[in-house]
Each structure stands twice: as structure tokens, then as C-alpha cells.
Amino acid sequence: MREWRVWRKRIVSAAVLGCAGFLLTVNTALAFTNLQKNSRGPEVLQVQKCLKALGYSIPELDGVFGNSTYRAVMAFQRSNKIKITGVVDKKTYNALQVARRNFEMNGGLERETAGAGRADDGDSWQDMKGSAVNVPESQPFLLRDNVPNVIRTAKKYIGVPYKFGGDTPKAFDCSGYLQYVFARHGMNLPRTADLQFKLGRSVPASRLEAGDLVFFSTYEPGASHCGIYLGNGEFIHASSSKGVRVDKLNDDYWKAKYYGGKHIVK
């Protein structure tokens, strides 16, 4: 009976509290219970709300810890240098508290959630592209101070599926993904990989900086696939087989397909 009263108290508290309340208020008398795949309930719903507010891809707020929530948690853990398990443990939970608190203090919540809502609307996405500034060819254009913000945005969409011609968080292809990420920061890139390859200055892989672009020759000769270099030999891209993900340049497949790197950071 006592266990039921404690459990009921926990459910009611989680259901009543909003996202900020959920992350800023913890009943320390209760032992923390990990949330993982197949978990259900108001705690999962609040985690979903917070991840979505922070810009991660959560298609449906249903209180069910399914694949999309699992991928979003892994993306959050990767971005915050937490062991990537897909499980909301105490460390991940505490990091969510800090991230949400900082986000609200920096005034980013309203901008990001409004932007995420616009992204799924075709006309508004066209408006966002229209308001972005065309970037110049053959010269760097991404301010070095803005690189962490661009990379943070790029990582928010880890797990979004691939679709040829896709250019919104519902589904991306490789060049549509790059165009979308940079448009969120006011920069309008060309729509296709071969045209994006004209941007920046060619550099060897050893001289790539985080934020630069990398290109591969996959389904046709020339630059037919692209991604954003993250540093330490890693890049993020919309993979045709697994959607938005992080891979290594020296993986056998990508090493063989590597076409070139373009330095866009200034």
C-alpha cells in the first residue's frame, strides 16, 4: 500500500508539473528510476517535451519511450559528452536540467520552438530560405564564433530519416540537410551537393576545421554526397541508409568515397 501511495504521488507530480517544473524540481525522497525503451508514463512525456523544446526531433509527444525518443536521447547524450546509451539515467536527467535551464536563461526557448514549428510547414520553410543570405562561392563565409551553434543545430536532427529530395526535419537528403541547418543560421546554401562543392576553398583532409564541408562521390561521379565536418575525423550527414548520423572519415567506406573538403570557416 505504501509503495502504491509513493508511486501515485510520483505520477501526479509529474503530470501536473510542466517541462520546466519537471526538470527543476526533483522529489529527492524517491529513488531515481531510469527511463528507457518501452518505458511509459508522464515522466517520459515530460522528457519528450523537454527534448523537443531543446530542438531534438520528437515527432509525437505520447509518453511512450519509442525509437524517436531513444534517438533523441542518444543525440542529446552525444552533444553533451555523456556516455551514449539511449537511457535517461541520473546523469542524463541532470544534464537535461542544466541544458533546459541555460536555454531558457539565454532566451532561446521561444526562438527554437517557433523555428521547429515553422520547419515542418512547407510555405514557412520557403520563407526561412528566402530570408537567408546567399553565401559566396570560393571563399569562407562561416564565422568561427558561430561554428558551435551550427554544429549544435546539426546534431539536433540525429536520427531523422533519409528521403531523396527531403529538406525538412520530417526527412532529409544530404544536401537538403546542409541547406536546412545553415538556413537556421541565416545562410542560404545551394540545394545540391555538386553546387555546394563550389563553396569555400579546397583543403586536404588534414587541414579541415570543425564546421567545414566534406564531400563524397557515391551514386554518381563527382560530389554527390556531403556532410559537415565535426573535428577529430568525424562528420555529420544524412546517410541514405540510416538517416542523420555521425561517421568517421577513415571508415573504409567513406575513405574510399572521399572526394574533397571545402574550408568555409573564417
Residue indicated by cell numbers 546534431: 155
50, 225, 226, 263: the catalytic one is 225
Task: Please indicate whether residue 263 is annotated as part of the active site.
Answer: no
Nearest CA among 94, 89, 96 for reference residue 32:
89
Q: What is the number of other CB atoms lying within 10 angstroms of the CB of residue 84?
A: 13
How does DSSP assign 203-249, residue by residue?
A: E-GGG--TT-EEEE--SSSSS-EEEEEEETTEEEEEETTTEEEEEET
4-7 own/partner pairs: CB under 8 Å, 24+ apart: 6/30
Q: What one-character DSSP code corresponds to residue 142?
A: B
Residue 237 is among the residues annotated as catalytic for this protein: yes
**Encoded amino acid at 258, one letter:** Y
From the list 19, 50, 226, 237, the catalytic residue is: 237
Q: Determine whether 226 is an active site residue.
A: no
Catalytic residue among 174, 185, 226, 263: 174
Residues with catalytic roles: 174, 225, 237
